[in-house]
Structure 1
């Protein structure tokens, strides 16, 4: 079975904690770099996904320096680079699903930012499309989240809680397996 590594939104703009707020998992970038290195060494395909925000005020807007990929990913030998404006890598350009099908890829390993946003949405869609999907949780990260939910009130969750909830939902919902970098690289 041919597999691909999907590296999602590993962009410099996510280092702007004044914009995004507190984060979890400071080892994310090092773990992504380890995965990229393993895939490079094995010759398996790497797909790099970049979020191009429509909002001029976002660090991820194409006109802002934060849109650039972090060094560990910028130098990756990408077989495909997908630009997207929404959460799912399957709604980007070029068409990820078509490329995966053309290349006979049925297994996807996901890492990147944000765990509970673009990584989770892409994993859910991958699972729904029938891909054998793994999310490498310690090669993801996210940010604290707070907002008013109608009928519930103010809800606040830490980045660590959001990562755990995403892992639980993806795994128990049958969308993806959850692994650590060490587990994946050992197996």
Structure 2
């Protein structure tokens, strides 16, 4: 991965595995997630920020995250390029089971922009680890999504929308990330040709 920018876009788990869970995908909290990720990818390419595609794999699980299923691949609509880094992780965060940190360091990246699937799981956890590693973190919540958590063991159900708002609040209030929308990141935060 080479970069003339100090910023990298991390696209986390935007993979077919999730779409294969038809009921879950139909109830996603943010139906615009793929369109918003595509906008961020197009913008990153336009301004020369590297795009890193990260997928989640559970070898031997027999489910949709098992590489043998054929679904551990980026959602086709997003059109990843062969020249862009593609990493496969087996941990919740994107750093623990990949060489992502080394790649970002070698490319001179100091800021990561996070988008993808499961706002409160892989996206949030990656944001927290990135902050701990010293990166400036931009969390583009409307380019993430999740699903509701049903009531379990006496605990109340939580809507996907509430999970997304909670994630924003905690990441921002605890200093892990700056929260932005897709339009804010593309329009107001960084315009093409500006440092």
TM-score under structure 1 length normalisation: 0.90
8 Å Cα contact 1:145/1:158 also seen in 2: yes
- 1:162 to 2:163 alignment: yes
Unmatched segments (≥5 aa) in structure 2: 189-195
8 Å Cα contact 2:55/2:74 also seen in 1: yes
8 Å Cα contact 1:11/1:60 also seen in 2: no
Unmatched segments (≥5 aa) in structure 1: none
C-alpha deviation, 1:92, in angstroms: 2.7
C-alpha deviation, 1:90, in angstroms: 0.4
8 Å Cα contact 2:29/2:146 also seen in 1: yes
| Deviation string, structure 1 residues 120-167 (Cα, Å, up to 9, x no partner) | 000000111110000100000001113546xxx223111111111111
The whole-number CA distance in structure 2 between the counterparts of 1:80 and 1:103 is: 12
1:147–1:129 distance in 2 versus 1, CA, 3 Å: farther
C-alpha deviation, 1:38, in angstroms: 0.8
The whole-number CA distance in structure 2 between the counterparts of 1:180 and 1:106 is: 20
8 Å Cα contact 1:110/1:136 also seen in 2: yes
TM-score under structure 2 length normalisation: 0.87
1:38–1:20 distance in 2 versus 1, CA, 3 Å: closer
1:14–1:69 distance in 2 versus 1, CA, 3 Å: same
- In structure 2, the residue matched to 1:68 is 73
1:12–1:31 distance in 2 versus 1, CA, 3 Å: same
Match of 1:35 among 40, 50, 53: 40
- Of stretches 118-127 and 41-50 in structure 1, the one that deviates more from structure 2 is 41-50
The whole-number CA distance in structure 2 between the counterparts of 1:72 and 1:65 is: 16
- In structure 2, the residue matched to 1:128 is 132
- In structure 2, the residue matched to 1:46 is 51
1:180–1:100 distance in 2 versus 1, CA, 3 Å: same
- In structure 2, the residue matched to 1:107 is 111
Higher strand share: 1
8 Å Cα contact 2:56/2:89 also seen in 1: yes
